Structure 1
């Protein structure tokens, strides 16, 4: 397959992952335990909805970390380490701090209002914890990434490339993620936010995401050849988990299943989505601001539609539509058009 100078499939994966994040967060409002992790929940629970969500939940966040690592590879091609650090600070750290003090407290106020609590301003990373982790990874791994960039023909780096681009590289990937699950031993594998498990899992995914693109076309051709095998193994592991383990699967098995889903998504995206389009150009710009603001519209939609006497699937559809339309409306008519606001949401000034 011909490799485009820009990897449009990676842009699509980022967009799709943000879309899945919206769907997943809406779904939490229909689970009886949603309030325990800070969500507004409905009395009309929809327990069966959690079956597909439990499939998504073990790979949607790690996938975003993989993609973030890939983005750093492209960013260092024409930047010095100082330029890259400044660029990532302006596009990651600034939105994180803005969201910490100005965005997350808004949806926490809505949550307090729904549960008749005292209205209190609570600066908090909330769902933006992901950005804080990413910036730490950039700072920590930058020297190593630039070493790989500047020494691609050295014996050590050439050997690493060869390993990553072979099936042995997938074994290394599986062992690394399974080892993290065993050593950290989280109480629940999918509790990523502001936990050591989420930190180390994200660090691994970020590192390997960079290495996947750095290793060159051979790695992606290897993924293409195995794409149907990857998706079949992932589906088989998910089926076994649902039927046999239910919600109590061992963490290292969840890690292995997660890896197979991720490489399958990357392989099929590389095969079918590595081409430009007007929709991608728009959505790839909108995805970051939508991620930052979506919880405010999700909570507003929950307050509006959860009291409505309709069935749970219709409530779900109404809240999801309200969240998506609200986010894109604010993005289209305010965030992308006001130069002062653009950097606060991770966009470059016009």
Structure 2
């Protein structure tokens, strides 16, 4: 199996998680924030939602794609028992720890802010993503290891040829269209704790694995046709905006999602496939920040929303507060205290300095 270093994949994962934080903060300023368990600002910024809907259709499927790619890298040096053990340590442990120690804190902040009775029952909240990923590993491991053993077989050769055609990657959208037709989600963007989220996630996870498994042909195609994929994605988004008031039929949103993802991979491959110490640090920080960020966000909302500030300043201040809170907790506690590292998906060993590592190792953290 290829050992090519791929820094762009991990950069894209870091960027996607950063966008996730901003997306969640934008929810605070929407009228339906409390319905999703977010503290709601009395002053709204509903104009934020139109750019947020651009992210909505691809941000979660994209992370599932990247996670599937991470499994491809992981099985290069592991058998199936080692993969399950490693995924239990890096995914199942943080998932269970989060349900016990992270989710209750931001639930209690929400309850205290609204003076509700304090209480908690086990709930994955934003960590549902980890539960899905672990399930996908268990379900798809036999297929992944079969493909690993037959890497020189006819399937991979045909897949590589098909991915050399610009229609090859686009054809993946048909799987996502089929999912929408069969599952019939009421809201395409409702991924958390829904059957739609589970099935679209497993499709994206499997497709992410296949894209890397197909070899260099996919990346060359994504690079060559990135502007076309981007043009299709932008055109479909504008159609959704002006023709459907942002709520297009699910099959169109599924196709738009895949074209955004293909364009992102193409541009990432062109501009982000470079090592750096910033990448090494941010790649390590991304997973703990994802686990921790809802506590920071709720705390920021509690402190900042009551202030007599302009609403735009509150939005920016919550972004800064959330980012700084996560940085301080990660840098001075999680990163440096060995016992805290495994529950946040990190190895127990702490190194003050390290050379940039390949995303072959880094993307398999999530």
TM-score by length of 1: 0.97
* Aligned-partner Cα distance in 2 for 1:193–1:186: 12
Residues 22 and 70 of structure 1, relative CA distance in 2, 3 Å threshold: same
Per the alignment, residue 312 of structure 2 pairs with: 313
Question: Could you tell me how far 1:4 is from its partner in structure 2?
Answer: 7.5
Q: Is the CA contact 1:212–1:219 (under 8 Å) kept in the aligned structure 2?
A: yes
**Structure 1 vs Structure 2 CA RMSD:** 1.2
Gaps of 5+ in 2: 350-366
Per the alignment, residue 142 of structure 1 pairs with: 141
Alignment of 1:318-333 (within 5 A): 318-333=317-332
Question: Could you tell me how far 1:181 is from its partner in structure 2?
Answer: 1.2
Q: Secondary structure at the match of 2:321?
A: helix
1:167-213 C-alpha deviation (Å, 9 max, x unpaired):
34224301111111111110100000000000000000000000111
* Aligned-partner Cα distance in 2 for 1:333–1:119: 30
Please state if 1:96 is matched with 2:95. Answer: yes
Per the alignment, residue 154 of structure 2 pairs with: 155
Per the alignment, residue 58 of structure 2 pairs with: 59
Q: Is the CA contact 2:170–2:258 (under 8 Å) kept in the aligned structure 1?
A: no
Alignment of 1:188-227 (within 5 A): 188-227=187-226
1:280-303 C-alpha deviation (Å, 9 max, x unpaired):
010000000000000001000000
Question: Could you tell me how far 1:122 is from its partner in structure 2?
Answer: 2.8
* Aligned-partner Cα distance in 2 for 1:45–1:122: 30
Q: Is the CA contact 1:290–1:331 (under 8 Å) kept in the aligned structure 2?
A: yes
Q: Is the CA contact 1:230–1:263 (under 8 Å) kept in the aligned structure 2?
A: yes
Please state if 1:233 is matched with 2:235. Answer: no
Aligned length: 348
Gaps of 5+ in 1: none
Residues 71 and 109 of structure 1, relative CA distance in 2, 3 Å threshold: same
Question: Could you tell me how far 1:164 is from its partner in structure 2?
Answer: 3.3
Per the alignment, residue 23 of structure 1 pairs with: 22
Per the alignment, residue 260 of structure 2 pairs with: 261
* Aligned-partner Cα distance in 2 for 1:157–1:215: 6
Per the alignment, residue 345 of structure 1 pairs with: 344
Per the alignment, residue 354 of structure 2 pairs with: none
